[in-house]
Chain A
Amino acid sequence: MTLDALDFPFFQRALVAGLLASVAGGVIGTYVMVRRIVSVSGGISHAAFGGVGLGYFLGFSPVMGALGFGLLSGIGVGLAYRRFGSGLDTLIAMVWAVGMALGMLLIAMTPGYAPDLTSYLFGSLVLVSRDYILLIAGVDLVILVTVAVLFDHLRAIAFDEEFAQVVGEPVAGLFLTLMGLTALTVVSLMRVVGVILVIALLSLPAAIAQQWSEDLRNMMLVAVLVSAFCTTGGLFLSFWLSVAWGLDAPSGPLIVLLAASLYGLSSAFKAAGKTEVSR
C-alpha cells in the first residue's frame, strides 16, 4: 500500500530531490565532520533563512536569497574562522540568530499573504518544484567536480592544516572553497529538512559513516547512502502515517529522527564490537 506513493508525481519529485540532496549532504557532510565545522555549518543554514526573508520582502526567489546569504555568511564566517580559530562561538551564535531574526522580520513585513514558514524551517519535500530539483542537481555537479579535482588538497587541510601550509598549499583559498560548497549544500538541504534541521542531515550520516570507514572516499560513499536511506525512509514513513493513520506528519522531522536513531544503533554496534575485540 505504501508503495502506491510512487504513483504520485509529487512523491516522485520528493524522492528524487531527497536522493540528489543526499549526494551533496553526504559528501560535504563528511568534510564538515572531519574538519569539525558542524557549528559553522549550522550558522550558515540559519543565516540562509535571512535570505529567504529578503527574497519574499523584495519579491525575488527566496531560494536565490538563501543561496546569496548562505554564500556570503559562509565566506564571512570562513574568513573569521581562519583569523580567530575556535574562539568563534560568539560570532557563529550571532550569525545564527541574526539570520533567523532577519528572516522572520522581513517575512512578517512582507505585504499580502503570509508564506508558510514551516516549509523553510522544517522542510517540505512534497512541495518541491522541478526547478528546485534542477538546482540541487546543479549543486551536486559543482560539488562532485570540485571534490574530484581537489580531493587530496581538501583532505590535507581538513587533516592537518599546519602541515598543508608548510608544504605550500593555498590553505585559505581551499578553506573558503569548502565554506562555499557548504553553503551550496545547506541550500539544497533546506527544502528537504528545513534550515533548523540541516545541521542534523549534514552531521549524522557522516558521523555514522566515520564509525565504519578507514578512508575518506568510503566515508563519503557511506554518508551518501545513509542519507539517501534516511530521506527515502522518512518520505515513505510520512506517506504511510498519512494514509494508514490519517496523521499529517511532515517528512523533514521524520528524516532527522530516523538519522538520529541510526546513529544510536551504529554507536551501539560500534561499542559492542570494541568490547568483543578487547574481550
Chain B
Amino acid sequence: MKEPIVEMRDLWLSLKGRPILEAVDLTLEEGDYLGLIGPNGSGKTTLLRVILGLLSPDRGTVRVFGQEPAQARGRIGYVPQYTRFDADFPMSVLDVVLMGRLAGRGLFRRQSDRDRDVALSSLEKVEMTDLAGRQIGKLSGGQLQRVMIARALAVEPRLLLLDEPTASLDTRVGVSVYELLKALSREVTLVLVSHDVGVISRYVKTVACLNRRLYYHRSKEITPEMFEAAYGCPVDLVAHGHAHRVLADHLVEEAGQD
C-alpha cells in the first residue's frame, strides 16, 4: 500500500494549559481533498500547524510523507488565515510569490528562470499577473489573499493546506478560487479549513468536523452525529436557521452561515 501523505495517531496537544486537540486520528491519502469544519477555537489552525511542524504534540505521533513534519518541509504549500507581515514592507507581489520558490533551493543557489516562470504562472492562476510589480501594501484584502494562494502554489506542493482562504474574497473570486482548488485536487492533496459548510460540501471530496476531537469517516457526508459532536447542536436546527433559539451566540455566528 502507498504511504499516506499525513498520518496522525492519538494526537494530543494543549497550549498554555488549555487542551486544543484530543485523541486526533487522521490519515490523508494521496489525492484526498479534505474539508475541515468546526467552530471558532476548535483547533483547526492548530491541526494545520502540527502538520507543518510549527507545533509539536504533547502525545501521539504525526508523520508527513512518512517523515517528521520538520523534515517534510518544502513540499507543503500553506495559506495562513491571517497575514502577519507589515503592509509597509518594501516588496513586490512577484517577490512575495517567489518566496514559495525558496523551498529546497538551498542558501547559495541563485533564483533561476524556472523559479520566475513558476511564480508568474502561479500569479496567473489567481488572476493577479497584472499586479506582479505592485508593492504588497497597496493591495486590497482580497488581492492579498490571492497572492498568498499564489505563493503557496509556487512551492509546487504535494500537499496544500489552506486556512480560510476565501474569508476576505468577494463571491466571484471566492468561487474561482474553489474552482482552481478543484482543478488542483487532481494533482495535489488538499486540506481546506473553512466554516462555510455549504461551500465545503460542494467542492471537497471528504469532510471532517473538529472540535478538539476529530470526527471523520473518510466520506463527504456530514452525519448528524458528527455535526452535533463538533458544534454541540443537532444539524437540522442549524440547517433550518432556527439556531438562535437554542444556541449560544458564538455558535450562531459559526453555524448560521449557511
CB distance from A219 to the nearest CB of B (A): 5
Q: Which residues of A contact B83 (CB under 8 A)?
A: 160
* Complex contacts, A269 vs chain B, CB 8 Å: none
Which A144-163 residues have a C-beta within 8 angstroms of B? 149-150, 152-153, 155-156, 158-160, 162-163
Q: Are B76 and A155 in contact, with the CB atoms below 8 A?
A: no
Min C-beta distance of A273 to chain B, whole Å: 14
Q: Which residues of B contact A160 (CB under 8 A)?
A: 83-85, 99
Would B73 and A168 count as touching, CB distance under 8 A? yes
Chain B residues with CB under 8 Å of A219's CB are: 90
* Binding site secondary structure of chain A: helix
Inter-chain CA distance A218–B91, complex, in Å, is 10
B73 adjacent to A167 (CB under 8 Å)? yes
Majority secondary structure, B binding face = loop
- Flag if B92 contacts A34 (CB, 8 Å): no
Min distance, Cβ B81 to any Cβ of chain A, angstroms: 12
Q: Which one of B103-111, B171-179, B206-214, B248-256 is at the A interface?
A: B103-111
Which of B86, B102, B107, B135 contacts A214, CB < 8 Å? B135
The answer to whether A276 has its CB under 8 Å from any CB of chain B is: no
Interface status of B146 (Cβ within 8 A of chain A): no
B74 within 8 A of A: yes
How close is A208's CB to chain B, nearest CB, in angstroms? 13
- Expressed in whole angstroms, the Cα–Cα distance for A159 and B83 within the complex equals 10
Determine whether B120 belongs to the interface, using a CB cutoff of 8 Å to chain A: no
A216 within 8 A of B: yes
Q: Which residues from A are CB-within-8-Å of B73?
A: 165-168
- CB pair A170–B84 under 8 Å, yes or no, is no
Number of interface residues of B (CB under 8 A): 30
Picked from B54, B86, B102, B135, the residue with its CB within 8 Å of the CB of A152 is B102
Does A215 reach chain B (CB closer than 8 Å)? yes
Pick the residue among B86, B102, B108 that contacts A164 (CB under 8 A). Answer: B102
User: In the complex, A160→B100 CA distance in Å?
Assistant: 11
Interface contact B155-A34, CB-CB below 8 Å: no
Compute how far the CA of A164 lies from the CA of B108 in the bound complex, rounded to whole angstroms: 16
Complex-state Cα separation, A262 to B91, whole angstroms: 24
B57 an interface residue at 8 Å Cβ cutoff? no
In the A-B complex, list the 4 residue pairs whose CB atoms are closest, starting with the nearest.
A168-B74, A168-B73, A167-B103, A214-B135
B residues at A contact (CB < 8 Å) = 52, 54, 73-74, 76, 78, 80, 83-86, 88-92, 95-96, 98-100, 102-104, 107-108, 111, 135, 151, 155
* 9 residue pairs A–B, Cβ–Cβ below 8 Å: A34-B86, A36-B86, A153-B107, A166-B52, A167-B73, A167-B74, A167-B99, A170-B107, A215-B95
- Interfacial residues, chain A to chain B (CB-CB below 8 A): 34, 36, 149-150, 152-153, 155-156, 158-160, 162-170, 210, 213-216, 218-219
16 more contacts with CB within 8 A, not counting A165-B54, A215-B91, A216-B90, are A34-B86, A34-B90, A149-B107, A149-B108, A155-B95, A159-B96, A160-B84, A164-B99, A166-B52, A166-B78, A167-B99, A167-B102, A168-B103, A213-B90, A214-B90, A214-B92
